[in-house]
Amino acid sequence: MSEIIKFDNVEVEFTRGSERFTAVGGVSLSIEKGEFFGIVGASGAGKSTLVRTINLLQRPTSGRVLVDGRDVTALKGRELSALRLKIGMIFQHFNLIRNATVFDNVAFALEASSTPRAQIAPRVVDLLRLVGLEDKIRLYPGSLSGGQKQRVAIARALANKPEILLCDEATSALDPDNTAEVVEALKRIKESYPITVVFITHQEQVARSLFDRIAVMDKGRVVEVGYAYDIFAHPKSQPARDLVARAADYELPREVLEREKDLFLLTFKEEHAYDAVISEVARRFGTDLSIIAGKIDYIRHKPLGVLLVSLRTVSERKRQEVLAYIRERACITEYKGASNA
Amino acid sequence: MLEQTLRILRNELWKAFYETAVMMGISFALSLVLGLLLGFALYLTETGAFFKNRALNSIASGIVNFIRSIPFIILVVFTLPLTFYLVGTKIGPVAASVPMTIAATVFLARLVEGGLKEVDDGVIEAALATGARSLLIVRKVLLREAAPSIARAVTVVFINLIGCSAMAGMVGGGGIGNLAVQYGYYRYETGVMVFTIVVLVVIVQISQHLGDYVASKFTH
Ligand SMILES: Nc1ncnc2c1ncn2[C@@H]1O[C@H](COP(=O)(O)OP(=O)(O)OP(=O)(O)O)[C@@H](O)[C@H]1O
Ligand SMILES: [Mg+2]
């Protein structure tokens, strides 16, 4: 694989009044051709600002952004236009032209690339068929559901067969059904043609089902990059742990939380590995790991076991030994109850 | 009394209508084109994504503010030399349409600029992200999204022009306003004054309804 996007020490500063504020501080990162690349992180971490430097909706203050090996940060006019034709983008709030029909919204992107008039209509129909909306062609955005609006936006973003699709919280304003609908559409598109997707989200479920690799951002910096599976299995940075913890947001009854003080979340990469660990702890240390809750998730088709256990040991020394033993075999994090408690 | 009123109206009304129609027709048509152009110019020279030009913007904006701060009746007098230069006379409906055009153009320009500023930034950003050039965005995004507020702005300006036409009439333009003043005020023909008021009210009501209708047709 070759890299299609490369951030080289990218920095974005804003001036607010007399203050200077660093929204993105020295990010270096490569995104491979054809991958589904996720960016996660808390609100205000600089995710949107970073992604917007790729199509120069935001010009970096310093550093370079390379697209297909070419520095794009100085592009202007016609060249900037040409770059943007190769990069589709969808947004949290869809940003369709309200007073234009679904047809005209998609046709707009084709007019942007000076597509001959005769080719526009059939191409629009094709694109709308791709997102399953060919019957809505004459409607205005106002009469569509959120999921349908986003699919129109996807059709518009794909109109000029871009190599890159940028998605800024494209499913964050949608309910679970509409989110699933958009996620399915993106998956289908990804299978049918080789596009690189850069996707910002807060939604752990979306990250889990879409991303090949993930970059975790915090306060303008990338604090962790890795395969989605590894990040879910073993999150190293705090924002990544927060994201994963959201997945383990078991709704435990109050009595259980009060009775079980020493709760831990164990993450196993192999499906059955926890059998061995649980029984081995009992045999070796003569103590029980009682299972409170658990499940096996599939991240891009690979199983990941997550287990919430309670540790009932008598002495602190033994407790430390047990934890050390487990730590060698699985990822373990203390569980502090539901994240909103 | 009533007979007197009817006689005056029969003799004077069509001429007055004609003069008002000339004033309104010329100034509305010209200010529509010039006001839209100036409004877009004000917006586009101010906005970073398009043709940002601070110098040009401040000059245009300064001129607009200057004209807007002159009361219309004074503008009529102030522009008399220009009027004479342009149309060769200082009286009559054609002459009156010069200051009317100027006032309506800057008024419409400001309203159009305001309408454009209300277009959702996100929609403009999405349009920029497709790679569209500025002129395409102006035609297919800005014009469409601002169309309802532009229609409402045009209505406001048209109704405002009716008021101006009456004032211009008093200082030599003729028209319905002049009729009301000449007979209703100087000759105590209250009937004529009431009649002209009724006519103006009807015109304003119809224009407002028409404007609202057009604006609603542009809204989706
Ligand atoms: N145009 C701007 N002017 C000034 N400050 C800005 C601008 N755009 C973003 N910022 C600031 O930069 C920081 C990062 O913003 P950014 O939108 O990139 O965050 P984010 O990670 O996308 O957050 P969210 O998840 O809420 O969308 C924020 O503190 C924001 O207030
Ligand atoms: Mg954001």
Q: Is residue A152 a part of any domain in this protein?
A: yes
> What span, in angstroms and rounded, lies between the C-alpha atoms of A156 and A103?
10
Which of chain A's residues have a Cβ under 8 Å away from the Cβ of B142?
A: none
Of B130, B150, B217, which to mutate for an interface test with A (greatest number of A Cβ within 10 Å)?
A: B130
- Structural domain boundaries enclosing A176: 3-237
Chain A: residue whose CA lies nearest to B219: A99
Same domain for A168 and A285, yes or no, is no
What confidence tens digit (pLDDT) does each residue in A61-78 have?
A: 999 999 999 999 989 889
Contact A215 CB / ligand 1 (< 6 Å):
no
Output the CA A10–ligand 2 centroid distance in Å.
17
What confidence tens digit (pLDDT) does each residue in A196-222 have?
A: 999 999 888 888 888 999 999 999 999
Contact A52 CB / ligand 1 (< 6 Å):
no
Q: Whose CA is nearest to atom 28 of ligand 1?
A: A44
Q: Which atom of ligand 1 is nearest to the CA of A49?
A: 18
CATH number, domain of A303, equals 3.30.70.260
Same domain for A179 and A255, yes or no, is no
Ligand 1 pocket test, candidate residues A11, A12, A14, A201, most atoms within 8 A of CB: A14
Same domain for A170 and A259, yes or no, is no
Same domain for A115 and A25, yes or no, is yes
Judge: A159–B130 Cβ closer than 8 Å, yes or no: yes
- Does the complex come out with an ipTM higher than 0.85? yes
Q: How confident is the model at residue A82 (pLDDT cuts 50, 70, 90)?
A: very high
CATH number, domain of A23, equals 3.40.50.300
Same domain for A287 and A147, yes or no, is no
Q: Whose CA is nearest to atom 1 of ligand 1?
A: A14
Q: Is residue A243 a part of any domain in this protein?
A: no
Beta-carbon neighbour count of residue A114 at 10 Å?
Answer: 11
Mean residue pLDDT of chain A comes to 88
Q: Is residue A94 a part of any domain in this protein?
A: yes
Q: Is residue A186 a part of any domain in this protein?
A: yes
Same domain for A53 and A148, yes or no, is yes
Judge: B130–A142 Cβ closer than 8 Å, yes or no: no
CA dihedral A88, A94, A98, A103 (to 10 degrees): 50
Contact A27 CB / ligand 1 (< 6 Å):
no
Residue A181 phi, psi (nearest 5):
-60, -45
Q: Is residue A339 a part of any domain in this protein?
A: no
Mean residue pLDDT of chain B comes to 92
Do B83 and B171 form a contact (C-beta atoms < 8 A)? no
Output the CA A41–ligand 1 centroid distance in Å.
12
Q: Is residue A341 a part of any domain in this protein?
A: no
Q: How confident is the model at residue A339 (pLDDT cuts 50, 70, 90)?
A: very low
Judge: B148–A93 Cβ closer than 8 Å, yes or no: no
Name the pTM for this structure: 0.87
Closest C-alpha to A159, from A118, A197, A111, A116: A111
Which residues touch A10 (CB under 8 Å, ≥6 apart)?
Answer: A24, A26, A27, A28, A50, A53, A60, A62, A63, A64, A65
> What span, in angstroms and rounded, lies between the C-alpha atoms of A158 and A192?
12
> Does residue A261 register a pLDDT over 80?
no
Q: Is residue A10 a part of any domain in this protein?
A: yes
Which of chain A's residues have a Cβ under 8 Å away from the Cβ of B147?
A: 99
Domain ranges of chain B: 2-218
Q: How confident is the model at residue A137 (pLDDT cuts 50, 70, 90)?
A: very high
Contact A14 CB / ligand 1 (< 6 Å):
yes
Average pLDDT over residues A256-267: 79
Q: Is residue A254 a part of any domain in this protein?
A: yes
> Into which CATH architecture does domain B2-218 fall?
Orthogonal Bundle (1.10)
What confidence tens digit (pLDDT) does each residue in A113-133 have?
A: 999 999 999 999 999 999 999
**Total domains, chain A:** 2
Which of A108-117, A238-247, B173-182 tops mean pLDDT? A108-117
Q: How confident is the model at residue A111 (pLDDT cuts 50, 70, 90)?
A: very high
Closest C-alpha to A6, from A38, A54, A52, A60: A54
